[in-house]
Structure 1
């Protein structure tokens, strides 16, 4: 089951294949940290012997999301199973990894990758008759919130020219048709920059990914070859370069990492040291907000 498939209405959360919030036994009474900005991290150095600071960088820290819930109106014979289910889906593993937490508000469904870090279940006077309150808290190391579905775009290398001017020149002159292929346009409709994952399928030697808008490039050693049937995966957010799962970051000579800017698009060119018709560049990304 894909993340978010259980969600049908505003005020719903999906975690580990379980619906929380609206139309579930776990009624939402408060949700914090979803629409809020996370705490900022900055390094504004003090102005020596003067008021204030010099402006430094400012980025967001991890996102903390807290659901406060209420359980009531559940048949008393089902209450224990409802509590057990909540404890099960919030139980940590020995080495927990981030998983999709999907939330729908205002008709829009988005997700973060997070780990459950806290759970409270109040055992008070009315617990015995099927009434309790509590909270579940998650932390996402990446504070950005993403669309549910991957966006993809792909292109081969630009085709080599097959025609052009013929001599002796005869008017009217006939020019070549240009070099189709080799270019992508990636659109990010969210309010935060989104960092794509690039996949290069061989055979190709010395691949180059270039941002036409800024001139930034990812340039591999011209002698570096991605063979037929191999796939080179470049995660621009994690800054990893894997060839069939093996680290080949050492062959990336120029590292001018670039994202897809917020609320706009970027044009990207795919080139290489030599042409092969089967070479393919695929981009995967999601709309992002914060």
Structure 2
């Protein structure tokens, strides 16, 4: 098991830096740009006959980061093996999770190799080398490695609150002492509301898992008016998973794509440093659970 020698540690799969690894090699990061915030995508058009420019909302841009350092191995063979392990990262051209742990928090960034080659410069004694990774993240947000959960909650029931004036009912407006009447306010219905919070500095996108039986399940953020409405039945034993992230957005019923069954796709999000309430409605006795991660830029 790798042993930390400096904080923070950086981990991609089985490879890690600022550690002594299982092969007797010490990996140390000497410089990196991961601590910097993401760039902004500006949307502006120059005003042709006046001062300044017209603008629309700006967004976080994808990020490109450089991480470099050195690796010291116990011998030449160890250095050659360490080089191979480094070059094997992202071998299939896909994305991997980079985890940064500073001893106080653990956050992750989904990265892949940028178009620059992995650099390896051997030392003259052949027992180590300097290295450099150029990383690219289409999703610029750091996500807390801890997953937050809300629910499960059942479909919101109809409220029957209010005074009952019906003659002959068990309740009713009846002031006669000893009779079964009286002031009857009814029974309050179930709320069916999820409370989501994001203590981070970037927008977080929840994943909703709806379990049956429920017909036409709907998720609504009353504060913004955003509605995700699914048309159809989620039967007993089935799970409808709605991922609201723009980087992995999907709607699947037991793993089968059901994006076309959305009558409304106003994707719900959790703004940085805020809370969101989500109302769950539908017909039946189903339930919903939300999962999400705090997000940071």
| RMSD (Å) for aligned C-alpha atoms | 2.6
Distance 1:163 1:38 in 2: 50
1:30 maps to which residue?
31
CA contact (8 A) 1:200 1:280 kept: yes
Distance 2:9 2:48 in 1: 51
1:45 maps to which residue?
45
CA contact (8 A) 1:9 1:104 kept: no
Distance 1:7 1:259 in 2: 36
Distance 1:281 1:160 in 2: 17
Cα shift readout 1:83-123 (whole Å, capped 9, x = no counterpart): 222222x2521xx3322110123732100111133411013
CA contact (8 A) 1:111 1:146 kept: yes
Deviation at 1:51, TM superposition (A): 3.7
Higher alpha-carbon deviation: 36-45 or 279-288 = 36-45
CA contact (8 A) 1:185 1:268 kept: yes
Distance 1:54 1:266 in 2: 31
Compute the TM-score of the two structures, normalised by the length of structure 2.
0.83
Distance 1:236 1:288 in 2: 14
Matches within 5 A, 1:78-157: 78-88=78-88, 90-93=89-92, 96-105=93-102, 107-117=104-114, 118-123=117-122, 126-154=123-151, 155-157=153-155
SS in 2 for 1:54: strand
Distance 1:9 1:176 in 2: 63
CA contact (8 A) 1:45 1:56 kept: no
CA contact (8 A) 1:7 1:19 kept: no
Cα shift readout 1:203-247 (whole Å, capped 9, x = no counterpart): 1111110113223222233xx211222211111113422222333
Distance 1:73 1:250 in 2: 55
SS in 1 for 2:45: coil
2:233 maps to which residue?
225
Structure 1 unaligned residues grouped into runs of 5+: none
Distance 1:213 1:254 in 2: 17
Cα shift readout 1:135-193 (whole Å, capped 9, x = no counterpart): 01221110010000211112111245588744443355132341124111011111111
Deviation at 1:30, TM superposition (A): 0.4
Which has the higher Rg, Structure 1 or Structure 2? 2
CA contact (8 A) 1:113 1:142 kept: yes
2:179 maps to which residue?
none
1:14 maps to which residue?
11
Pairing 1:65–2:65 present: yes
CA contact (8 A) 1:11 1:22 kept: no
Deviation at 1:59, TM superposition (A): 1.2
Distance 1:134 1:19 in 2: 13
**CA 1:79–1:250: 2 relative to 1, 3 Å:** closer
2:220 maps to which residue?
210
Deviation at 1:49, TM superposition (A): 2.9
Distance 1:108 1:168 in 2: 58
Distance 1:251 1:7 in 2: 49
Pairing 1:234–2:242 present: yes
Deviation at 1:39, TM superposition (A): 2.8
**CA 1:163–1:8: 2 relative to 1, 3 Å:** farther
Compute the TM-score of the two structures, normalised by the length of structure 1.
0.85
Pairing 1:170–2:174 present: yes
Distance 2:212 2:101 in 1: 40
